[in-house]
Each structure stands twice: as structure tokens, then as C-alpha cells.
Amino acid sequence: MDVYRAGLSMAQWRRLIDDACRGQVTEPIRHIDEARGPRFDAIFVGGGSAGRFGAAVLRSLGGRPLVLERWPFLGGSCPHQACVPHHLFSEAARELDQAQALAGRLWYGKFDPKAASILELVDLFRSKRSGPHAHMNWQSAEQLGIEYIVNAEATVIDASTVRAAGRMFTARALVLCTGSRTARPGIPGEDLPGVFDYASFIEDLNYEPSKIVVIGGSKVAVEYASFYQATGTPTTVVSRGALLAAGGPGRMDDDMRHFVVDGMRARGVELLEQTIVTRISGDGHVAAVEVTGPGGARRIEADFVLMATGEQPNVAAFFPAVPVARDADGFVTVDDRMRTSVPGVYAAGDLLGPPLEMFKSRRSGTTAARNIMGVDSEFSYADIPDFLHTTYEVTWAGLSERAAREKFGDIVTIQVPPPDLAPGDTPLPMAEGSMLYGFTMPERTGFQKCVIDARSRRVVGIHHAGYGAKDAFQYLHHLMTRPGGLTIDELGDMNELYVSPDYFIGYARLRSSQAELTSM
Amino acid sequence: MDVYRAGLSMAQWRRLIDDACRGQVTEPIRHIDEARGPRFDAIFVGGGSAGRFGAAVLRSLGGRPLVLERWPFLGGSCPHQACVPHHLFSEAARELDQAQALAGRLWYGKFDPKAASILELVDLFRSKRSGPHAHMNWQSAEQLGIEYIVNAEATVIDASTVRAAGRMFTARALVLCTGSRTARPGIPGEDLPGVFDYASFIEDLNYEPSKIVVIGGSKVAVEYASFYQATGTPTTVVSRGALLAAGGPGRMDDDMRHFVVDGMRARGVELLEQTIVTRISGDGHVAAVEVTGPGGARRIEADFVLMATGEQPNVAAFFPAVPVARDADGFVTVDDRMRTSVPGVYAAGDLLGPPLEMFKSRRSGTTAARNIMGVDSEFSYADIPDFLHTTYEVTWAGLSERAAREKFGDIVTIQVPPPDLAPGDTPLPMAEGSMLYGFTMPERTGFQKCVIDARSRRVVGIHHAGYGAKDAFQYLHHLMTRPGGLTIDELGDMNELYVSPDYFIGYARLRSSQAELTSM
């Protein structure tokens, strides 16, 4: 099907994508300028965020990109199975958490776990996900001028040739961006019906879970467990190590981790740390998860299991035809210009391994595009701002207090609530999104900490659990990592928008006139 | 009552403040180091944010401040009658808006306007406001080391002498920060029971309104009207000019203003612009508001009226004893060092007139403190980031598209939803806080625009209606106004936290490789 310059409306795109997702349109959907022939500057194998953003930049620089995507839409797993549904569920978790907490008060009625249906939310997402998909296809065609073929498998033949939609395309460079999927660890019973990962959860769920086990201890595990519990469905998390300890002690601040983990426990999530899953059992459908931990062996009944056990790369479309070097986990290795070990072949996105985050996908794709077009460009993601959801938005950048103390010695912190108060002693930090909690359950308003190197007066770590600060962390991270960094004095001289979800500016103002900084 | 070094706990402070607010503690509450005598470096007359922050900085710089406050707590009107209750009501408005929109879907039951009680929320606020108050008193004593007397009227005798709690105190400088209150315009009937301003609404409401008129056309009017309507209480706004047009066309972007105003109308708020109130009528209680507008004269029935008619300064404590120069509206005039026309007398906060915002109060207080302590310091608030609430957070900084076009000529915009789409055509911008809307009512996810000077490639205006971007605007404003500003290229090279409530980084990444920028 040729849609080049067809000027499809958003509604037409939605229908076409819906039909294709239902298998009613099986032919490739081609948005290609046939008059220009099959030779491109670069072919992006995979139309997720890495491929789409890379193609947009290559086009902006005067090049001719081709994006090839097996799904009938651009944008990749994010809007189809990953970030977007996750954000929908996390928003539901936040609202349901409040509905549970305030049940019977103000305008909130009795909380009815039967009314909060996981299946209904998944159905809502499935029925409407073509909306964002349509936007990506429309934008890529109408606003970005990208040529693409969707709804077609691509097969890489060699470093300059790709077959798709029954045709051969060539380019002076390839950008591999085929993404990743959940790595199944090989637990006996992990293939039983009722055992899901974040993708099959979206695609295949057809019943309402009544008791859930989540296997894993990092972001995905914490996020989905928080959501499930918020719907009123009893949820157990089984983690090999300490929850959210991945990345080492330098990543998440200890106090923030406690706020997050204690908060999950207070909401009823059962957390089993240092615990191994030995077997998933059931007769034709999952019925229990058998574990071994500090308390010995145990059988946890469950009719739904989520495997949040890490990721593995999707390499079938290009490996071994293009024998790029890969690391021990199979992820493709690249240099700072996104070049693989095979000349002319670049890689980008989740295929590169952790962190599996949007900024990395987009920037690795655009970095590849720039270098292909002769613009020297490097991208390193050693120091990143990061976040996750529980029923809160949890965001951090820079160093934890512990890591900062090890690195700089003399550290000052600004913390809300202050370290010498119990969380329920004060409604602070209370801001957009936690005002109702501030006046009903003050221990629930959140937690935040700013870590300052006392000698240089530079902000070296920021940590926030609450609502409304995530967006700001993008810019704070930029300010902290630019040459010269961000001092508490500069922070205290900014103009805050009160009640600001982070209290950093206001508190910096209270402290920044000190010649010798002290904590508060 | 002497509480110096008494180490009162938060709970003790709460009880003491509650008792004082109920009139059961009438004596002054003194947190003063009596051993050091009655002479200070500066006396802050008024313990709101200007006085409290000014005193903290003066103390940090080695000075001895005294704060005098008539209420039994520091923090001023913000946590007692103004910003904090407003934020609570705006969060309720957001939640109620969603509960109305999604009534009967997902876990939301039928929306019952009887369950959403304005009086109950005001009661909740009144019953708990001593929590934040206690934090301010505790923090000022325990963390900031400030001397203060609360629960005592202060009378300024001359430029270096103030009487309070039956005693005389002297200082080498005074900082006047006695705040402001609603200016009543002199409409016949404005003193009838049932006519409130934002302060008396908190203090005196004792019935459930059933039909509301809000008089005024700027922030306070829009914010309270949105809240009232969200509770299911029919609300009419009567504005002399166009709604939110104050500050001129350079302030709020036209498209964003339309999104905001159309959104209020779509939610049922009746908006009467270019309309004058001629009379408020009723027999012992307000019953109707009589207006004249484009459609002629009209009588609007109402049992509750909110006067959102601007502010006037509180000068009784010091004028004319200290005859500081004042402007036509009575606000105290100062230079960039916060010096009044009377040597040794400074002023800060709402006493200086619009903008009546926290950052101005705090920074004017700290600027006065620095200059008093010999640290040369200036503060100008010509270019400010700004925000208001409807059921959305509405935030802006820099120039509107129109003002930017007038100033720079060649302007590029990045807008979501894009200008050529109807709002319901796409769920974008959809992010934290608007995910549920994205999948149910896509026209409700918000609006945003980034205005770029095409020649310098600098971001000159940012505009956002949605959730979660307000905090970020503090830092974006800093980046835009620092020397060199913020280019679209720098913006596109930042690391975003996806789904970021503002789409600025992601969209800048899509466009910033263009040699000649184009809009999208």
C-alpha cells in the first residue's frame, strides 16, 4: 500500500493501524518517494525512537533516510507495550492510591477493589493505543518528511543492503535499532499460562488477576507491583537482592530508597528480598510461585506472575549477516559515535543495553545520524538523570549522599522532611499533587534531598519522591553537569514558582548566605 | 510566653498555634534571647515570607534579626489564607474535574456534586493549617536561629524603633513587610453577608454555596472559579475586560489563553467578559449580582460572591509614623536594593505591589537583608516566570508568540498539539497527570508551545498548560535569561526523562539539526 503524499488524516492513520494490528491489513505500508529509487544515505532497521529520531535528524541535515519497521507504526515498543502503558498504569496507581487512602472522606466513596480492574485498564490501553501510533506516523510523514515502510519485516543482507516488502534497499550506512525484549531466566514453569512479561501482559491478558507475584527487584518490578497493589490486588515482589539496589549504592540515595520501599510496604505490597524463585507451578495455569529466602522455602499462591527479569537484545534481523561485536549479555557494543565493529554499521537504542531509557534511544539515534552525515558528534551516558514510578514519581540525578561523602568528604544536605523529624510530624514537602495528603496523611507528601559539596558549594546530587519534579530534573541535571556546575548560591538566586514541587530553590535561598554551609 | 530554647516539638507548636488562633492564648509568644537586650541589626515588621527569609539571610550573614508578627505563626498569609489553601483547592479541582469527566468509567462512580463540598474542604484546611504553621515556627527557631515575637501587634514608632508585646525594640534598619489584602472596589452591596474575598472565604464560610459569582478577571478569579465549578457548583465569572488579559498581550500567549478559557467554558463555567457589576443585592444575605455587559443588563442569582478585585497594601502599622513614598495604588516604592524613601527603612513582599508572588517576597526580603549587612545586592523582577491554576497547571515564561514576533520578526514555534490539528485529533501532549485523559478524552491532555527566535536560535518564550511542568519552568527561565540564553540546539542535546510533561527537549531534538529552522 502506497501512502506517500497521501496526506492521511489522523483518523485515517488510526483506522489503518488498528486494521493492521488486527491482521486485516497484511501488506507493507510504504511512505516512499519511488521516483528517487532504492538508494538511501542511511537505512534505520527498526522504527522505534532511535530510528525515528535518527531519521528525522538525518533528513534535517539534508540526507535521505529510510526507516523499516515490522509493526504498522513508528515509535516502537514504547507506545505499544512499554513506556506509554506503564505511564498510564502509574497514573492509575497514583489515583487509586489516593482513592484507597481517602476512602469515605471528602468526595471519595468507599474503595471497591472490584471496580478497579487491571484487565479493564489493559483493555482501555489496547483499544486506544493507535492514537499515539497515528500521531507518530502522521508526524513522521507530514512534519518530518521521513520515508518509511511499516508493517514489513526487514532482513539485513550485508552492511549496505536490506530486504523489506519484497524489495532490496541499499545505503551507505545502516543503523541497527531493533530494540530488546524481556530475558527469561529459565525458571521451571516460566512458560505456564498466567506468566507474563510487560509485553505479553499488554498483548495477552484476558482475565482479572486476584493474587500476583512479581519476579524482579528493579524498576519494572517496583512499578508494576505498585500499580497492581493500588488496584486492590494483593501483590508480592520476589527479588534476588535488595529492592532497587541495582546500579550500586552510588545510584539511589539510601534515605530515598527507604522512603520508597517503606511506602510500598505501608500500602500492603509484600516484599521478599534476598529470595530466589525455584519453581513456578500450576496445572495448565500458574497457581503458585515457590521461593527460597532468608526465612526458608515458601509457596506463594498466585494466579498471575510478572517476570521483570531484565532485557535481552533483538538481533535476529541482522545477526550473523552483519557480525557486529556484542557484549557478554548479547547487547551490541558501539563507540561514542555509535559505530559498531563493522564499518558503515551503526547501532542505537535498547540494542545497546542499559540504561533502557528514551533519552538514550533518541540521542544514540541522532548521534549516529549526525556522524553519517559528516557532523562529528559524540554521546556518552555515564552520568544520567533517572526516575521510576511507585505511586509516586521518584527522580534522581548525580550522587547519593553516601557516594558524595565518599567522593568529596565534606557534604551538606538539605532534606525535607528534615532528618530529625518523623515523616508524620510535618506535612512538608507538600506541593502540587500532594496537597490532599498534606492535610489528611502528612507522612505521604514525599521526600527530597539536595546533596551539596560544602567546599565548592556545588550541588552534586538531587533526589525527589513526590509529584511534579520529574520534568525539572532534566534541566537541573543539565545545570549540574555543565562546566562550572550549579552552586547553592546560583540555585538560591533563581525565581521559584511557589509551591514548587521541589523545595530546592527556596531552601537554597535560606542557606546560601552562610559562609560555612550547614545541613538542614 | 517565653519559648526561647524551649525546643518545642512540632506537636507542641501545633497545639499552641491552634489555641492562639482560637483566642485561648492572647499573650505574645517570644522566641528572643533576652540576655542580648533589645537592640538588633534589623527588625522585620511582618513575619511572612519576606520577613522570615530576610531574617534567615541576615542571621546567616552574622547579623541579629528580630521578626515581629501579629499572627501566632511565621509564614504570613500564604499558609493561612492564600497560596496554600489555593493549592489545596486547585488540587481538589483537578481531581474533581477528573471524577466528573470519568464518572461511571473505570473505578470512578457516578459523580455526586453533593459529595463534593466546598465547605468541607475549607473546614479541612482550617482544621489542619496549623501543621505548616508549626513547621515554620519550628524551622525558624531550630534550623534558622531567628529571634521572633508572634501573636503580637507591632507599632512602628520611627525609623529605628518598634513597639511590640509592650516593649520597645531598636535596630539600625527596619524592613517593612506587612503584606496586602483584597481591595474592595466600592460596589453597592459588597458588604452583604455572603460576599467574600480569598481571606474571609477561609475565615468565615459557614454554609454550602449553591450558586456562585466571581467578580474579577485575573488569576484569583480564574483559579477559584475553576475550583467552585469542579465541585459541581454552578459558577459565573464577571470580568471588566477580557479574562486573563491583564499584563497586556505580551504576557500570556494567545493560543494558551484560548486553551485555558475554552477549557473553563467546556467545563461549564459561565464567563462574562467586558461586563461591569452594578450592584450586589439581597435581603440580609447576597441573593443576586446585577451586571451590565455587551448583552445589556442582567441579574445573576447567587448565594455566594467572591471578590477577586486586586490588592491593597497593609500600611497601618507604620504609616504615617514612617512616611515612606508610595505609588498611586498606595504600594510602597523601593529601589533595586529594596530601600524606601526613608533612610534606614527597607520594604519587601506584597507591600511593594504586583507581582504578588512568593519569589518576589522571598528575594526582596533577602535582598534587603544583604544590603543591611553590607553585601551589595540588587533585585529586579521585570522578567518573571508565572503560573496559575485552572483544573490545569498553567505556566509561562518569556514572550508570547505575538510579542516575540513583534520583537524579533522571524519566529519559529514548536507546538503540541500542532496548529493544523483539532485538539481531539491527537492524545498529545500526554504525560504524567494527563495519561488517563489521553486514553479517554484526548482533547484534555493540555497545550504547549515553545517560541524560538529563528535568527539567534534562542528560546524566547515557553508556555504550558497541563501537569508537572511548573517546577521545570523555574530552571528553564534561569537558562533562558542567563547570558547567552538557551538555544534550541542546547535544549535538543539535554537528557529527557520520558514521558516528560513538557515536550521541549524531545521536539527540539527533532528540529535542532535544521540549518534553517521551521515550525512544527
Contacts of B502 in chain A (CB under 8 A): 471
Instruction: Please report the DSSP string for A239-293 in residue order.
Output: -SSSTT-TT-TTTS-HHHHHHHHHHHHHTT-EEE-S-EEEEEE-SSS--EEEEEE
pTM of the model: 0.97
Length of chain A: 520
Is A91's CB within 8 Å of B471's CB?
Answer: no
A393 with A429: CB under 8 angstroms? Answer: no
A153 at interface of B, judged by CB pairs closer than 8 A? no
Distance from CA of B416 to the nearest CA of A (A): 11
- Amino acid identity, position B138: W
Is B426's CB within 8 Å of A135's CB?
Answer: yes
B106 at interface of A, judged by CB pairs closer than 8 A? yes
A170 with A159: CB under 8 angstroms? Answer: no
Distance from CA of A336 to the nearest CA of B (A): 15
> From CA A185, how far away is CA A181, in angstroms rounded?
12
Q: Which pLDDT tens digits describe chain B residue by residue (520 residues)?
A: 999 999 999 999 999 999 999 999 999 999 999 999 999 999 999 999 999 999 999 999 999 999 999 999 999 999 999 999 999 999 999 999 999 999 999 999 999 989 999 999 999 999 999 999 999 999 999 999 999 999 999 999 999 999 999 999 999 999 999 999 999 999 999 999 999 999 999 999 999 999 999 999 999 999 999 999 999 999 999 999 999 987 665 579 999 999 999 999 999 999 999 999 999 999 999 999 999 999 899 999 999 999 999 999 999 999 999 999 999 999 999 999 999 999 999 999 999 999 999 999 999 999 999 999 999 999 998 888 999 999 999 999 999 999 999 999 999 999 999 998 988 999 999 999 999 999 999 999 999 999 999 999 999 999 999 999 999 999 999 999 999 999 999 999 999 999 999 999 999 999 989 999 999 9
Nearest to B468 among A135, A471, A475 (CB): A471
B22 at interface of A, judged by CB pairs closer than 8 A? no
A65 at interface of B, judged by CB pairs closer than 8 A? no
Is A474's CB within 8 Å of B496's CB?
Answer: yes
Distance from CA of B120 to the nearest CA of A (A): 7
A426 at interface of B, judged by CB pairs closer than 8 A? yes
Distance from CA of A440 to the nearest CA of B (A): 8
Contacts of A92 in chain B (CB under 8 A): 106, 435-436
Nearest to A131 among B426, B471, B473 (CB): B426
> From CA A13, how far away is CA A31, in angstroms rounded?
12
- A31 is written with which cell numbers? 511512505
B117 with B304: CB under 8 angstroms? Answer: no
- Cβ neighbour number for residue B11 with a 10 Å cutoff: 10
Is B436's CB within 8 Å of A95's CB?
Answer: yes
Nearest Cα neighbor of B399 from B260, B254, B516 is: B254
- Cβ neighbour number for residue B468 with a 10 Å cutoff: 28
CB pairs under 8 A between A and B: 296
Summarised one tens digit per residue, pLDDT across range B119-138 is 999 999 999 999 999 999 99
DSSP class of A155: E
B34 at interface of A, judged by CB pairs closer than 8 A? no
Summarised one tens digit per residue, pLDDT across range B375-417 is 999 999 888 899 999 999 999 999 999 999 999 999 999 999 9
ipTM exceeding the 0.90 mark = yes
Distance from CA of B373 to the nearest CA of A (A): 11
A418 at interface of B, judged by CB pairs closer than 8 A? yes
Which residues, 6 or more positions from B157, have their beta carbon under 8 angstroms from its beta carbon?
B163, B168, B321
Strand ranges, E, within A433-492: 447-453, 458-466
B506 at interface of A, judged by CB pairs closer than 8 A? yes
- B385 is written with which cell numbers? 516566570
> From CA B180, how far away is CA B354, in angstroms rounded?
10
A382 at interface of B, judged by CB pairs closer than 8 A? no
Residues 333-372 of A with CB under 8 A from B: 357-359, 362-363, 366, 369-370
| DSSP H helical ranges for A32-82 | 49-60, 77-80
